Structure 1
């Protein structure tokens, strides 16, 4: 028992000592306002000279790594690693937060912004001349590929398919690499990939670089997705996606005991050409205007029982893989109810390797007469189902129950009102003098009756 307790205490002390040492790791940036041809430096100080391994310093987009140096200060018992970077062009650049591993332990550091002003490129070849002859540098062994992929090889007209462009780097890749002119390259790739005869729904924005892992040919790769789009062919035929290029920066290296020297080496990767066959839709009166794909319809209502003239919000949610721009709801009105369209909502989200679209149709439903109303008699959406390869109609399943009386029956079952009496009144003109004579005679009769009443009371 005592031995276990001592063991736990020793482990705790070791961990505490290691944690305290970790807090003393320091990152220092050189001047963050430089000119072209000048070096930006990151310096890492580790409070021990017993550093067996250290991971590469982070990449900075549009910067190339130059010399990395390692020094052990015996007097101060510290290890210092320094990484030099050379900008490729002027501008303002962001070094995001990054991690560095020392002896298998990973540490996170805050990034910074670097401003590069135009200037003379004076640093070129300096380190290379000091490092040694050209043949002493080891060539890059970058294990990577550039892929443009289509989710489908054959579709119907107006049926969507997903096109994606990705850069893949093997997880066990031994070489360092970096991206250069990423936004410019992606813009060029987009121009190459977008066919003219398709409706386009963007899934990612240019410059939005997403990273994940993928298994390809039984090998694990880090995937950097450069662009993803959903295309809807407007007509039958063959859509050809041409081959396009993607360039990355990698390095030839010369390693010594206390340094790593690098020479820039640009590698260009080329994608394959892709053909997508587009078949025409079967004959139908609406074949040029209906959505094509897969779809489900959900109905949201807040009440099933209403009074006459009581409004109801009806929300019809269409989800699936279809072109939301041409998916339209058909509305049928009768004297028993009125329907008022409201704002529509369209959303898209990635689902698995594909895309799911959602279009919500919002309406105000106003019943005018009592009875049962099937929403299927009011709303319908015709589309071509690519699973069954037939035209299909989606309708809501709910029935609305309307209580109350018809307004016309309510009025006729009571005494005639003001508006009903209008039709029965004479519209002939009369002279005003006849009305004055009637008033005088009426007043004389009332006065006579009043005098007679007074005389009878006095006689009593």
Structure 2
């Protein structure tokens, strides 16, 4: 009896150890926290990045608040690598901080939660340097004037092309020696009113959605200020009135604030002097500006081209395909510009290329990712096609697809083409290489589950090892139970 029980325990231990080893192999690598340079000028930002490997969806991360630093916003990016023949996407989320004053700053240990996992950091020490000597308090107090508080509306450039990005910023500048305390009362409705005035007619808006009013050191006209960014957006003038030059007018804006100061006041019936707070309204007005929008040079596709700096990346699930079999073909346009307005690549059928005419192309599905970092709009737009070549031979997809854009830096159009070349074979050719012909195609362009059924040998049955091991374990368990009952019956 004891021998049977021992065998039973041993089989169970081996069974669960096997499952534990399988689970252990599937453990994904943990996210990693990285710091930027820990010694930097006060004008430079400090960043904390979290690298999440092998994740398709980007998680939301709550970065810590650091005393002496102010949050400036987050930026995101994705890296693609190939591991064991498959594409692996890793996400990078970066939080940017700005230092309020120079000196040495201690970043205490902190923890960040990513997809239910807690990642800890031991913290670090920051050395923040300044390039200008400190100014004495008496010198600062002597420079208080009407330019101590400013409302400034700035544009990225005074002249742009149709479709080129125009960034507009609205910020409050407060001198470092300003003796009053500012209060941003009823700021949200005022910023919304500013946005309505700033939006140009017939333009696409990419709003940065400023959610935090954070101070940041800045220099304007040689004077040091604390800058509060209120609004930031990038506008892309659409292709209307493409043959004439027009002007985008940035109007003057007004902002209502309250400033207060503490003044000592002697109270006669009290032994100690008391202080009162004196508040008064403050109205700031920005200067207007004009931006010239120039038409694009003549081109047959100028009504639908994108403007910016782009590149084209193409990939296919396999380069050898059987005639009549569907394949997946991706074209990804990535770069800086109006990502949302990118049109699908143009298709053409050259008269001298019969192979291009013998290709069925299904309408593409689209996926886009837009990021806003370093005051620029960038990202990518992917077009996924399903193709069915119908004739044996070499098929060059550069003869079938092309994408045209306008580069505002060079002032010229450029044409991008895919680099994929397909080798098409007839059904039955090179079957030893694992290519199975497809005689039916579903409506979305994918091969049918019945494709290549005539080449399937039903006499050869595959062996499912996990199912076989579980079946043998169940048989052993039943035999041990029966043996235990038999031994117990004989003893009684």
TM-score (norm 2): 0.49
Deviation at 1:406, TM superposition (A): 9.2
1:224-274 CA-partner distances (Å, limit 9, x unpaired): 322222222244211111111122222032147886521222212111111
Rounded to whole Å, the distance in 2 between the matches of 1:106 and 1:335 is 67
Indicate how the Cα distance of structure 1 residues 288 and 271 shifts in structure 2: closer, same or farther if over 3 A, else same.
same
> Residues 260-409 of structure 1: matches in 2 within 5 Å?
260-323=275-338, 324-325=340-341, 327-332=343-348, 334-405=356-427
More divergent stretch after superposition (301-310 vs 369-378): 301-310
1:375-430 CA-partner distances (Å, limit 9, x unpaired): 212221122222221222111222222333499xxxxxxxxxxxxxxxxxxxxxxx
Aligned residue number for residue 251 of structure 1: 260
Indicate how the Cα distance of structure 1 residues 353 and 275 shifts in structure 2: closer, same or farther if over 3 A, else same.
same
Q: What's the RMSD between the two structures over aligned residues?
A: 3.4
Conserved 8 A contact 1:348-1:357: yes
Aligned length: 274
Give the structure with higher Rg (CA): 1
Conserved 8 A contact 1:170-1:220: yes
3-state SS of paired residue (1:251): strand
> Residues 34-433 of structure 1: matches in 2 within 5 Å?
143-171=148-176, 173-196=178-201, 198-205=202-209, 209=213, 212-233=216-237, 234-235=240-241, 236-255=245-264, 260-323=275-338, 324-325=340-341, 327-332=343-348, 334-405=356-427
TM-score (norm 1): 0.52
More divergent stretch after superposition (362-371 vs 166-175): 166-175
1:286-320 CA-partner distances (Å, limit 9, x unpaired): 22232223222222333333333443322222223
Rounded to whole Å, the distance in 2 between the matches of 1:105 and 1:227 is 29
Deviation at 1:184, TM superposition (A): 0.5
1:128-175 CA-partner distances (Å, limit 9, x unpaired): xxxxxxxxxxx9999432221111111122222111212233455443
Deviation at 1:339, TM superposition (A): 1.9
Indicate how the Cα distance of structure 1 residues 218 and 383 shifts in structure 2: closer, same or farther if over 3 A, else same.
same
Structure 2 segments unaligned to the other structure (5+ residues): 1-66, 68-103, 109-143, 266-271, 350-355, 430-492
Rounded to whole Å, the distance in 2 between the matches of 1:244 and 1:305 is 62
> Residues 6-17 of structure 1: matches in 2 within 5 Å?
none
Indicate how the Cα distance of structure 1 residues 252 and 349 shifts in structure 2: closer, same or farther if over 3 A, else same.
same
Rounded to whole Å, the distance in 2 between the matches of 1:319 and 1:259 is 63
Aligned residue number for residue 427 of structure 1: none
Rounded to whole Å, the distance in 2 between the matches of 1:298 and 1:260 is 67
Rounded to whole Å, the distance in 2 between the matches of 1:284 and 1:387 is 17
Rounded to whole Å, the distance in 1 between the matches of 2:196 and 2:275 is 39
Rounded to whole Å, the distance in 1 between the matches of 2:399 and 2:105 is 66
Indicate how the Cα distance of structure 1 residues 335 and 279 shifts in structure 2: closer, same or farther if over 3 A, else same.
closer
Rounded to whole Å, the distance in 2 between the matches of 1:398 and 1:212 is 48
Rounded to whole Å, the distance in 2 between the matches of 1:322 and 1:170 is 35
Deviation at 1:208, TM superposition (A): 5.8
Rounded to whole Å, the distance in 1 between the matches of 2:305 and 2:217 is 37
3-state SS of paired residue (1:281): coil
Rounded to whole Å, the distance in 2 between the matches of 1:140 and 1:153 is 29
Deviation at 1:189, TM superposition (A): 0.4
3-state SS of paired residue (1:344): strand
Rounded to whole Å, the distance in 2 between the matches of 1:284 and 1:402 is 35
Conserved 8 A contact 1:330-1:380: yes
